[in-house]
Structure 1
Amino acid sequence: MADQRELVILSLYPRDMNIYGDRGNLLALTRRARAHGFEPRVVDLNIGDTLPEHVDIVIGGGGQDSGQIRVAADLAGRAAEFQALAEGGTPMLVICGLYQLFGHRFVTTSGSTLQGIGVLDVETRGGDERMIGNVVVDSRDFGEIIGYENHSGYTVLGSGSEPLGTVLQGAGNNPDDGSGGARSGNVLGSYLHGSLLPKNPAISDFLIATAAQRRYDAFEPRAGVDQTAERARAAAKRRPR
């Protein structure tokens, strides 16, 4: 039955955190889930909304500073809920602004501090240099991750998170240490927009497979190689920053 193959995807703050093409991640994820034989049900969580009783996958993007300030206040009241989801193994992908807020704190260029919820062991400080352009990250788990960055956040990882990979092209978390993104358990964070998932179906497959194994105790892949994604990856790698 279709309801036995449902996957609930929680889309975080789409009204405020949905720039640089981040909605494309949601579209790519739902399309890939259907190709694997699941029926995705998307639930939007905006400021003041109630968290649904069941969540299989969490996904969220970036936003302007004004939106990030509003979201930080709302997210702080949900810290225990998201920490519990993460500790229970729920797969999550958070990009840019929500990547920062899923860490411990984000200190803006003006010196204000936005407290994060500590799901990822990262801290971010706003910098004067804006890092823009195509990025290639060599990842042990996902091969080459290809995306587009546009941020001035300088993010450093603590011992509780590991990098998603090593930056081959671009800046990644910061211009200094060569790390790209962060992972803690099944929670992934990254600065890569572009959107990320249309060009990186391996990450979509990780989110879907992890969710299916948790909910249905099994995952049998059905979706094949996405040739459109392969062409997009090749084109992005050829473009200069």
Structure 2
Amino acid sequence: MKSGFLNVARDSAVVTITINRPDRKNAMNQAMWREMADLYTHLVREEDARVVVLTGSGKDFCAGADISEFDTVRKDAASARAYEAENSRTFAAIRNCPLPTIAAIRGICFGGGFGLAASCDIRIADGSALFSVPAARLGLAYPADAMADIVNAVGPQLAKYLVYSAARFDAQKALSAGFLMELVPEDLDAHVQHLAAEIAANAPLTIRATKASIRACLTGKEDELAQAVALGDATFESEDYAEGRAAFREKRRPVFRGR
């Protein structure tokens, strides 16, 4: 069932998912978590999609989970486990999406919103961005897999500080900490779309193999390493590899088709 709060737009090979609930600072209710997981899962089947951008409508990226429904959907350990399974499925769908994922962040990026951003490959923000992981002020714990994304994004010490203190930090601190790749002074959307288009023009099989290799480095899992090796080997048998060599010889821009 669609929540009605997630918009999907496509410009050539770039897909943009916009959290569209600005009156609630784009807070995610349970239906939205389910729908977002499905969106990322289905994008894998879109042959022409090459990059996914995640952003928020209005002034904010995402205030995290919608606390107003916690008395119903997260009221005790049993319901919390079910709710967190929905969250974890969403984070995993973004984390494991074979396409490059970019978070375009402005304004509030708190809690589950921070987790959404952390699960993306690349994070870019403007100067209005503000970050926090306020679990300690709510008296709840985050799922371990979501915490792993945060640790990978900022390192263990800063992850501990963020959760222990529930402190807020601005875009410049997030950039210095390595959570952000780039801080854009103006026109965030245009900047991100330009980057996404540049990535989309490159060899998609190479990018997929590279993402799998980086993932295997982070997890150390043998099956993921084997998959990365297989994807890497496949690039050398691809039409795109032949196109890349031909374009180099002919001194022209290659046209990659993902085959």
Alignment TM class, shorter chain as reference: 0.3 to 0.5
Q: Which has the larger radius of gyration?
A: 2
Q: Pick 1 or 2: higher relative contact order, CA cutoff 8 A, min separation 6.
A: 1
TM-score, structure 1 as length reference: 0.35
Question: Given the two structures, how large is their TM-score scaled by the length of structure 2?
Answer: 0.34
Choose between structure 1 and 2: higher helix proportion.
2
